[in-house]
Structure 1
């Protein structure tokens, strides 16, 4: 791993630990600064409200010159999320800037939940329902929200998000809901 990438990732992690952003959390996986686990809480007053959505972020030696790879590990029904959890989000592609950090990426993903772009769909069915049948779209989203609760509970009870006894449990993202987004 390059020193520049390592330095920047440590800065990003320190920033999130010292001043956690509303509704998101992230931390490196144990023993690998280039792979992070993250959680996004569904934004208030959206169909995703109260969802607990897990993601993985994979960085390369070119970070922050190149964006991380980001994908939901929780099942997601959204116009801009592919079946494998990969996102169709401009800042993760051509609109990336080295000034973006982990917090900016996660808050952008969270904003995407509130403001889908159906004209650039990764999931054609979700985009169609979002535009043509919002009631059915909201029902499908609600199913993923309920699944997210079960998955978050299973991850916590299995110890998947916890460090070994000799590890630092603060280095894993908490699925306890942080402060709410205020609009």
Structure 2
């Protein structure tokens, strides 16, 4: 990793510490590795995820910022933009290789993840059946999402 890349990552981590989205805490998983971050995020009030406490992992490639980071939910979540395959992969347009731009900031990635908890994007889903339920049977989607919050994301 270049010194410039490390400096950029450290600077962006400081930005996330200085101005985190509400209910969000960003930290390194291992102080000696700036490429793996842990994000602790409370489910936003006025969302079906309210009351939940979610852990996400952000992994930066060695050639960051020229390649996008990956963002995964470590906490199970019922969400059309998060895979239910045990990996918790998050579908965010800005994280796709063809859409990522080096000027993008990690704080924007964290903000985008939080905004998807407030308002999922069923038109860019990684779980099509959940997107369909979100669009066509919102009451059942909300009920199941709240149940998953209680089962998997309630503070212990």
Residue 37 (structure 2) pairs with residue 36 (structure 1):
yes
Partner of 1:86: 89
Let me know the Cα RMSD of the aligned residues: 1.6
1:21-170 matched pairs, under 5 angstroms: 21-30=21-30, 31-83=32-84, 84-93=87-96, 94-146=98-150, 147-150=152-155, 153=156
Which structure has more RCO (C-alpha within 8 Å, separation ≥ 6)? 1
Paired residue total? 151
Q: What is the TM-score normalised by the length of structure 1?
A: 0.76
> In 1, distance between residues paired with 2:38 and 2:92?
19
Offset at residue 97 of structure 1 (A): 2.1
- Moved beyond 4 Å, runs of 4+: none
For structure 1, the residue ranges without an aligned partner over 5 or more in a row are: 154-183
Offset at residue 21 of structure 1 (A): 2.9
For residues 96-125 of structure 1, the C-alpha deviation after alignment (integer angstroms, 9 at most, x for no partner) is 222222211011011112222222321122
Q: What is the TM-score normalised by the length of structure 2?
A: 0.88
> In 2, distance between residues paired with 1:40 and 1:101?
18
Partner of 1:2: 2
Contact kept? 2:21, 2:110, Cα under 8 Å? no
For structure 2, the residue ranges without an aligned partner over 5 or more in a row are: none
- Find the residue that maps to 2:154 and give its secondary structure: helix
For residues 23-76 of structure 1, the C-alpha deviation after alignment (integer angstroms, 9 at most, x for no partner) is 322111122111111122222211112221111011112111211111000001
- Find the residue that maps to 2:55 and give its secondary structure: strand
